[in-house]
Chain A
Amino acid sequence: MSILGQRVLRTEDPKFLTSGASYVADLDLPGALSVAYVRSPVAHALVRSVDLDAARRAPGVVAVFAGADVDAGPMPAEAPGAPAAMRRPLLARERVRFVGEPVAAVVATSRAAAVDAAEAVVVDYEPLPAVVEPEAALAGEDLLFPEAGTNLVVEMDFGRTDAFFDGCEVVVRQRIVNQRVAPCPLEVRAAAARVQADGRVTYWVSTQAPHSARDTVAACLGLDKAEVHVVTPDVGGGFGAKIGSYPEEVFVAWLARRLGRPVRWVETRSESMLGLGHGRAQVQEVEVGGRRDGTILAYRLDVVQDAGAYPSVGALLPFFTRMMATGVYRIERAEFRSRTVVTNTTPVVAYRGAGRPEATAAIERAVDLFAAELGLDPAEVRRRNLVPPDAFPYTTPTGTVYDSGDYRRDLDLALERAGYAALRAEQAARRAEGATRQLGIGLSTYVEVTNGLPGGEWGSVEVLPSGRATVLAGTSPHGQGHATAFAMLAADATGLAIEDIDVRTGDTDLVPRGGGTMGSRSLQTGGIAVRQAAETLVEQARRLAAELLEAAPDDVVHDASTGSFSVAGSPTTARSWAELAAAAAERADWGRLQAEADFTPPGPTFPFGAHVVVVEVDTETGQVQLRRVVAVDDAGALLNPLLAEGQVHGGIAQGVAQALLEEVRYDAEGNPLTANLADYPFVSATELPSFELSHTETPTPRNPLGVKGIGESGTIGATPAVQNAVVDALAHLGVRHLDMPARPERIWEAVRASSGTTSR
């Protein structure tokens, strides 16, 4: 029996659960210096002067640098189309643009000495008006980059049709804020660098994309890519925020070269809350029109994307929002516009879903608003508009081509698992008796895109004479379980045992090219590449076995259950992988038993599903209790359901967190109000019920295994289901929309505004 599809336990867990994992902070780097950054305490200001003298004299200090001392950078442009003037310097020079922006760097013999000395750096700031709200940035009264002449980074506008809502009996509009959130990986950012004897720089970094980290360091420092060797040790989470490189990391490589000594930087959580990119941060206008029978005819989405102070990946989120704008629905007409602006806030990057949760939240709220306006059951309105199973490949009005799906089946399954009719009956009873705690039932039917940007991956499998095999891949895991998944793929193809396979990633000297891990792409790109490399290796081994056994290759049988090769009909002649690898090593024309593959899929894949969420809302206090999360997810063929469920669990938790708890907040001057985990309500297990998970498997035709991605479905599917449930609990009181998160006071105000009473 094939191990594909089995619940194979994670081979990496014993290491992570004991003390064996090794992060950048753990690396043994004898003589390494520590860096502390001096960060701007103001959101927007001109830097009049930076006085480093006192810091230079502080105990343990080796060197102190300000922006003017730095002959490297700026960071490469990450957002195509963004004005060149908006590129980010490694250290701020004339102007600071957000609280937390590094202005100077103190290098000392210990971290404590560096932190103490950083307090002695004196910076003279001349405050400027801060631009905090994206809509204010659009107005353009105060500019972050006067040289650019605008706060607008990029715009996608496909024009407006006057007759857009013609034929619609009902049109509903809503402004929706998809709030800014902080990704909060457990491991904060960290980087270290050392110049080797041959002049190359070894650069250790906590990243999702080692090769692009290499390219960024090389570009900023004016080096050849070959002069930079990136090593990614274990990475304690990224959630998208560690796709790109950060100035604080790159600068460590500059320091190591400048000072000729190894240098390490590990940030604190407080720094991370300001410096690691944030996610989401869209203001949306949705308009949906259709017929009274519930048929949706036209959908318009207008997005203002907050990129934060420097355009990074976040500037591009609307690209994905547009791609997935109409969701699972067959809608004749759709219009989309987006404008990305800079503001005096932490830069916005990708965060678990990156533009797709925003698309799903918009359309799922819109569908509920439309259903509520018509007095129809939201499940019924969804059923009426879903793309049917026979419509695939399906091209959406925004030009996206969905691969495969059966949306109706997942919706029906989720409703059945949830006991939808009984829930509605309980809700009706509570409404009738005027209960303090009302029941809310929220639906979300979603489709998302994984591996959304074109690109492939490289993979390699090598069997050594010891009988162990090494798998290399260009993807770069940080919690997903690739060591298990990729070993399963290689084991299944070769017959080697999973325990005998080492999966290695993240070292740019071992792995010649790679895109990294993001956008739920790893299995469908890197996994397939590994699989194909393993299949090629089997064919090579067959040829070698044929030579050894003096048989024709076609007569050599590979037994994938034992991992042996023999001549058909005479199993006693079998050669093991170890024997073949040893034989290869002895033969000049072979040398190694190794094969590699590049796999580039013909297009992205589109996982989908349906989530039903049940909440209880205390109408007196505004407290929301999450009662149930019923999720049906379809990510194509499942390689390992255990790994898939792990992804769904974490994703739902973060989705719930956005819907109920989390929001990065600033005051009017751009001061962050949620800059530590006491003020930023990171979700914990106590707030979460056991999730009720089911899977359906609709294979994609876009790769040989039929697999899609599952890493982000939780934040995409669950978030609007929770939000819809909260609104649903209060719908009978006249509440039609609530922005996330469902803060108690916000709910109390909505109830008060709807019922016209002040207090009970």
Chain B
Amino acid sequence: MIPAAFEYRRVHTVEDAVAQLGELGDDAKLLAGGHSLLPLMRLRLATPAVVVDIGRVEGLSYVRDEGDQVAIGALTRHRDVEISPVLREMVPLLAHAASQVGDPQVRHRGTIGGSLAHGDPASDLPAVVLALGGTLVAQGPGGRREIPAGEFFTGFLETALEPGEVLVEVRVPASPGGWSFQKFNRRAQDWAIVGVAAVRRNGSSGVALVNMGSTPVRARATEEALASGASVADAAALAAEGLDPPADLNASPEFRAHLARVLVRRALEEAGG
């Protein structure tokens, strides 16, 4: 399809981006890798009057070892997350999950910031950052602030970012221990029908789910059961507890709940300990 007419503006600094958003309000949309925004525009499901391209903002694409955590610039492409030696060693779950996003074209264009800011429950990286207990850094007119991943995803395609804020960085704790990423789909290039990100760290477990609700979600019942000593099988059986999975062409809510239970069990078995 052909998108509705729009104005294109390119900015070179985060400050400029913030200023543009402040000036334009709801009329503007930030453009990073474009791999979520442009499909919506082409289907005319999104019709922003102005597209503010942050793709060439300097200094927002990096992966930095900060000791007990890793800081990732918002414009870091999925492919760069996938092959980052720092992430492969310190947060292998994230590096691996990035390698499972879409296809090579998508991974060379899409950015981690765009993936998180889009807030799609079917996307892989939000669940990974949730399971890891990451932190998101936003910059707005009043400066920078940090948002825990657990508070970031507020509704379907909605996040805690204020109008006028740009996501600039993602921080995830070093998690070199057991982990698993289970992505259930019919074709390698597809979004997950259900996905599971699991990580074991210092005896505690983080488990988050892809496409099991209107936002990326933690499997809280499973996490709590594990914390109180339940077996993997028993904890996994609670994976869909309290969740309201969506229905679509690929799966009914009932089947999604079943998949979540099976995949969480497999994930915990693979993550070990």
Contact = CB atoms under 8 A, between A and B. Distances in A.
Interface of A: 111-112, 115-116, 268-270, 620-621, 623, 660-661, 665, 673-674, 676, 678-679, 681, 683-684, 686-687, 743-745, 748, 759-760
Closest CB pairs A-B (n = 6): A686-B188, A745-B255, A115-B2, A620-B262, A268-B1, A759-B258
B184 A270 contact: no
Contacts of A678: 39
11 contacts: A112-B5, A115-B2, A621-B263, A660-B186, A665-B249, A673-B249, A681-B186, A686-B188, A744-B251, A759-B258, A760-B262
Given A268-B1, A620-B262, A678-B39, A745 B251 contact: yes
A665 B249 CA distance: 9
A621 B261 CA distance: 10
Contact of A684 (B188, B250, B259, B261): B188
Nearest to B184: A621
Contacts of B189: 684, 686
A723 to B, nearest CB: 16
A269 B2 CA distance: 11
A528 B181 CA distance: 57
B255 A748 contact: yes
Contacts of A748: 255, 258
A270 B1 contact: yes
Given A270-B43, A621-B262, A665-B249, A112 B187 contact: no
Nearest to A110: B2
Nearest to B233: A760
B5 A116 contact: yes
B187 A684 contact: yes
Contacts of A269: 1
B4 A116 contact: yes
A674 B188 contact: no
Given A679-B249, A745-B250, A745-B252, A623 B184 contact: yes
B104 to A, nearest CB: 11
Given A116-B5, A620-B262, A661 B186 contact: yes
A686 B184 CA distance: 15
A112 B184 contact: no
A702 to B, nearest CB: 41
A229 B13 CA distance: 57
B249 A111 contact: no
A681 B187 contact: yes
Contacts of B251: 744-745
A175 to B, nearest CB: 22
B247 to A, nearest CB: 11
B32 interface: no
B190 interface: yes
B193 interface: yes
B249 A674 contact: yes
A268 B262 contact: no
Given A661-B187, A673-B249, A686-B187, A744 B193 contact: yes
A743 B250 contact: yes
B214 to A, nearest CB: 19
Interface in B25-40: 39
Contacts of B188: 684, 686-687
Interface of B: 1-2, 4-5, 39, 43, 184, 186-190, 193, 249-252, 255, 258-259, 261-263
Nearest to A680: B249
Contacts of A743: 186, 250
Contacts of A759: 258, 261-262
B186 to A, nearest CB: 6
A677 to B, nearest CB: 10
A681 B255 CA distance: 19
B141 to A, nearest CB: 35
A602 B263 CA distance: 59
A195 B37 CA distance: 42
A744 B187 CA distance: 12
Nearest to A741: B186
Nearest to B255: A745
Q: Which of A621, A665, A678 neighbours the largest number of chain B CB atoms within 10 Å of its CB?
A: A621
A156 to B, nearest CB: 34
Contacts of A744: 184, 186, 193, 250-251, 255
B264 to A, nearest CB: 12
Contacts of A745: 250-252, 255
B180 to A, nearest CB: 15
B55 to A, nearest CB: 23
A112 to B, nearest CB: 6
Contacts of A660: 186
Contacts of B5: 112, 116
Nearest to B44: A119
A678 B248 CA distance: 13
A686 B100 CA distance: 13
A674 B249 CA distance: 9
A286 to B, nearest CB: 27
Contacts of A684: 187-189
Q: Which of A665, A745, A760 neighbours the largest number of chain B CB atoms within 10 Å of its CB?
A: A745
A616 B76 CA distance: 37
Contact of B2 (A111, A620, A676): A111
Nearest to A675: B43
A681 B186 CA distance: 8
A683 B189 CA distance: 10
A745 B255 CA distance: 6
Contact of A687 (B187, B249, B259): B187
Contacts of B252: 745
A681 B262 CA distance: 24
Contacts of B262: 620-621, 759-760
B43 A676 contact: yes
Given A116-B5, A620-B262, A665-B249, 9 more contacts: A674-B249, A676-B43, A678-B39, A684-B189, A687-B188, A743-B250, A744-B186, A744-B251, A745-B255
Nearest to A657: B187
Contacts of A673: 249
Contacts of A674: 249
Contacts of B2: 111-112, 115, 268
A550 B188 CA distance: 71
A269 B251 CA distance: 25
Nearest to B237: A759
Contacts of A115: 1-2
Contacts of B43: 270, 676
A699 B164 CA distance: 73
A553 to B, nearest CB: 62
B261 A681 contact: no
A621 B259 contact: yes
Contacts of B1: 115, 268-270
B255 to A, nearest CB: 4
Contacts of B258: 748, 759
A605 B177 CA distance: 63
A268 B44 CA distance: 13
Nearest to B259: A621
Contacts of B263: 621
Q: Which of B187, B193, B252 neighbours the largest number of chain A CB atoms within 10 Å of its CB?
A: B187
A115 B259 CA distance: 42
A186 to B, nearest CB: 16
Contacts of A623: 184
Contacts of A661: 186-187
A661 B187 CA distance: 9
A681 B190 contact: yes
A660 B43 CA distance: 27
B105 to A, nearest CB: 12
A433 to B, nearest CB: 18
A620 B4 CA distance: 45
A270 B3 CA distance: 13
A673 B186 CA distance: 17
A686 B4 CA distance: 34
Nearest to B257: A759
A8 B188 CA distance: 34
A248 B1 CA distance: 17
